[in-house]
Amino acid sequence: MNVNENTMLLGTFVVYFLLAFIWPTVRVWRHTGRSPYVLPSSDDAYGFVTRSMKLIMVTLLGYIVFQAIWPRVVLDCVLFQADTGLPRRTVAWIGFGLALLWTLCAQCQMGQSWRIGIDKKLATPLVTSGLFSWSRNPIFLALRVCLAALTLLQPNAITLVLLLTGEVVMQFQVRLEEAFLRGQHGAAYTAYCARVRRWL
């Protein structure tokens, strides 16, 4: 992993953050006048998952920034290294690109229904077309691909922990959201679940 690739990785994640979170947030806020962020700090399962997801995102960002500025320190601190030849890196970068395109497409298809978290105060339409006809959770699927691509690109203890903890937290998050959507949309959501798989 060279300095240029570290900088490129940082740039990729900055672009991903801007296009996947900031841009849709502004878009939804402009059209609805409401923040799409619904992230409670309650002491229940949902609050715990929310705090865990925040911690993962902050750790991920910290790791990406740190390895771009001090790559040698990161390499010295990890527990193991695997071969990162051209095929492995190529697959990882393809994964990042596909995840970004997949996320942007899914967010556009969600329109004003896009949220980060569960908005119990505002009913939104059930989106079942486009990418949502293939996956019930395309955006979370893209996040899983991103973490897998990062681990493939930099296979070390830090990225492996991010991958595993992210996987567990997202599995809980989607189930909480599914329970909410089933309560909000009833039979329509049950029928949707019967047609479309949770992931792909």
Measuring CA to CA, which residue among 157, 141, 166 is closest to residue 55? Answer: 166
Confidence at residue 97, expressed as pLDDT on a 0 to 100 scale: 93
- All residues at 6 or more sequence positions from 81 whose CB lies less than 8 Å from its CB, including other chains: 75, 155, 156
Structure tokens that stand for 126 in this block: 């059930």
Structural domain harbouring 72: 3-119+130-195
Degrees, nearest 5: CA angle 49-52-58: 145
pLDDT one-digit tens code per residue, 9-67:
889 888 988 888 888 888 888 887 777 777 777 788 888 998 999 899 999 999 988 88
Q: Does residue 116 sit in helix, strand or coil?
A: strand
Q: Is residue 200 in some structural domain?
A: no
Structure tokens that stand for 70 in this block: 């001090």
Structure-model confidence comparison of residues 82 and 48, the more confident one: 48
Q: Is residue 180 in some structural domain?
A: yes
Q: Is residue 86 in some structural domain?
A: yes
Neighbour count for residue 86 (Cβ, 10 Å): 7
Measuring CA to CA, which residue among 132, 120, 104, 153 is closest to residue 198? Answer: 132
Confidence at residue 75, expressed as pLDDT on a 0 to 100 scale: 60
Percent of all residues in the chain with a pLDDT value above 70, rounded to a whole number = 91
Helix or strand run (H / E) with residue 175? helix 157-185
Helix or strand run (H / E) with residue 185? helix 157-185
Q: Is residue 124 in some structural domain?
A: no
Confidence at residue 99, expressed as pLDDT on a 0 to 100 scale: 94
Confidence at residue 40, expressed as pLDDT on a 0 to 100 scale: 73
Please, which pLDDT band fits residue 77 given cuts at 50, 70 and 90? low
How many Cα atoms are found within 13 Å in the side-chain-facing hemisphere of 90? 3
Confidence at residue 25, expressed as pLDDT on a 0 to 100 scale: 84
Q: What is the mean pLDDT of the chain?
A: 86
How many Cα atoms are found within 13 Å in the side-chain-facing hemisphere of 29? 11
pLDDT one-digit tens code per residue, 146-181:
999 999 888 888 899 999 999 999 999 999 999 999
Confidence at residue 46, expressed as pLDDT on a 0 to 100 scale: 82
Confidence at residue 79, expressed as pLDDT on a 0 to 100 scale: 53
pLDDT one-digit tens code per residue, 117-129:
787 777 788 999 9
Rg (CA), the chain: 18
Number of domains within the chain? 1
What's the rounded mean pLDDT across residues 93-105?
Answer: 93
